[in-house]
A and B are shown apart, each in its own frame.
Chain A
Amino acid sequence: MNKPLRNPEIVWRVENRRQTEVLKALETGEEIEDSGTVILLQSGMMHQLNLIGGLIWQQCDGQQSLTDIAGELAKEFTVEQSEVESDVAEFVADLTERGWLINE
């Protein structure tokens, strides 16, 4: 998959208020792994993505490659791109297998 695209069948939204809270928690060093910031609705089921997953999801517009997405994420969290590349690839592969992302 070069440029992942969100499955248009999936309805989703960013939980802005929660995202702000999670970003604040991140600044104070709190654990944020299990805090959802993006809600997805698929076949009547609601799913949540955490902050990192949600940011990756928002980048999956069919225009950006995995490298581009990893670059954006690295910039956002001020880390080396190489540190996040494998995480991005793994996450995208998981969502592709679920049918939430499609090949573009």
Chain B
Amino acid sequence: MGLDLLDTPVRLTWDFPDDAIGQTGACLPAIADRVAAGGVFFVTLQGRPLLHPATEEVLGVFDGGCQLLITCHGHSDELARLAQLPQAGYQLLLDAAGFIDSNQGVDTRRLLSVVHALHLLECKPVIILTPLRDNLFYIPDLLRFCSDHQVAKFKLSNAHIGDSFHDYSAADLPRWQDLDLFRKSWLEFTKESCQLPTMEIHDLFLWEIMMSGQKTAGGQEQNRSEYGGCQAGNSLGHIDCQGVVHPCAAWPQPLGKLPDQSLADIWAGYERLAVREQIAGTPGGCHGCSDIDICFGGCRGLALHLNRSGGERDLMCSGPR
């Protein structure tokens, strides 16, 4: 079986090592070759990929129909490297986390100076954020910023656990109580006439709050009817700094290793199929819930690893309805 026979467009996140952790990255182009050969549609380089010497070579490998997304934190050394890279062939994701102080809020002046610097490099960034308890309530501020400064897209990505760069614990991540409060502040925000950017929201529970009732560019109401539950190991995958493939960035379980194995072999392997089988079951904490056919248990990776005591129920779910 090859990935080219699957109907699901696969998205991979890849924790790109940097010099700071002492890896030369000699095998990175080989890993990229394996990913490209697998027919993956989207690859997001995470960490500080702009600082790695192999980045340009990796860019060359994905010089086809695959969409490459590169994470940037807006640091001066990253911008200097960006100026040396080709301008086409990738999309830049500007991580807003470093511009938020949990007490002071969003440092819009510094964020704006970075966005301007990126514009000078003819780069129009997507602003991204991993929603955490500390920054959840600053999302409207970031959306106002996008609106004021013509940032066309805003993305709320999923939380990573158990990898080299992030290791969020359950205490860092939003819980249902936080979501209840956020819902109220979001309703207040929606009373403003703020022109929202295109939003991509990974988490189903946040999506419900922020996107329900919104219209698409074509005037149709947003829906997530195609949502078929947790996509870990199906349309989602994650590669860590060592080339080990996981079902998702929020599911730290090895499925195989690149470039030693091909992605197609890893995807056809027992480990991935076992993950999909596990996802097909209902988490213990969801039994009897009337909404299980809507959320399918939500984010199963985070729930499995961080909410065992809650019957592996999604951290943002208040309980069976």
Complex-state Cα separation, A6 to B67, whole angstroms = 13
Given A41-B9, A46-B9, the answer on whether A11 and B4 have CB atoms closer than 8 Å is no
- Whether the pair B5, A11 counts as a contact (CB closer than 8 A) is no
- Whether the pair A17, B9 counts as a contact (CB closer than 8 A) is no
The residue in chain A whose Cβ has the minimal distance to the Cβ of B1 is A17
Query: Of residues A11, A12, A18, A40, which shows the largest number of chain B Cβ atoms within 10 Å of its Cβ?
Result: A11
Partner of A13, one of B4, B5, B89, B226: B4
A-side interface residues toward B, CB under 8 Å? 6, 8, 10-18, 39-41, 44, 46
Given A41-B9, A46-B7, A46-B9, the answer on whether A13 and B88 have CB atoms closer than 8 Å is no
- Which residues on A sit within 8 Å (CB–CB) of B2? 16-17
- Which residues on B sit within 8 Å (CB–CB) of A13? 4, 39, 41, 64-66
Complex-state Cα separation, A44 to B89, whole angstroms = 20
- Which residues on B sit within 8 Å (CB–CB) of A15? 4-5, 39
Given A15-B4, A16-B4, A18-B4, the answer on whether A41 and B41 have CB atoms closer than 8 Å is yes
- Which residues on A sit within 8 Å (CB–CB) of B226? 44
- Whether the pair B7, A11 counts as a contact (CB closer than 8 A) is no
Partner of A8, one of B4, B7, B88: B88
Interface residues of B in 216-236 (CB under 8 A from A): 226
- Which residues on B sit within 8 Å (CB–CB) of A39? 9
Distance to closest chain B CB from A20 (angstroms): 10
8 other A-B residue contacts (CB within 8 Å) besides A16-B4, A17-B4, A39-B9 = A8-B89, A10-B65, A11-B41, A12-B64, A13-B64, A13-B65, A17-B2, A17-B5
Interface residues of B in 43-84 (CB under 8 A from A): 64-67
Give the A-B pair count, Cβ closer than 8 A: 37
Distance to closest chain A CB from B22 (angstroms): 34
- Which residues on B sit within 8 Å (CB–CB) of A40? 65
Complex-state Cα separation, A104 to B7, whole angstroms = 32
The reply on B42 being an interface residue by CB < 8 A is yes
Interface residues of B in 95-134 (CB under 8 A from A): none
Distance to closest chain A CB from B40 (angstroms): 8
Complex-state Cα separation, A39 to B39, whole angstroms = 10
Complex-state Cα separation, A95 to B9, whole angstroms = 22
Partner of A11, one of B42, B88, B89: B42
Interface residues of B in 3-58 (CB under 8 A from A): 4-5, 7, 9, 39, 41-42
The residue in chain A whose Cβ has the minimal distance to the Cβ of B226 is A44
Complex-state Cα separation, A46 to B7, whole angstroms = 9
- Which residues on B sit within 8 Å (CB–CB) of A10? 65
Complex-state Cα separation, A44 to B42, whole angstroms = 12
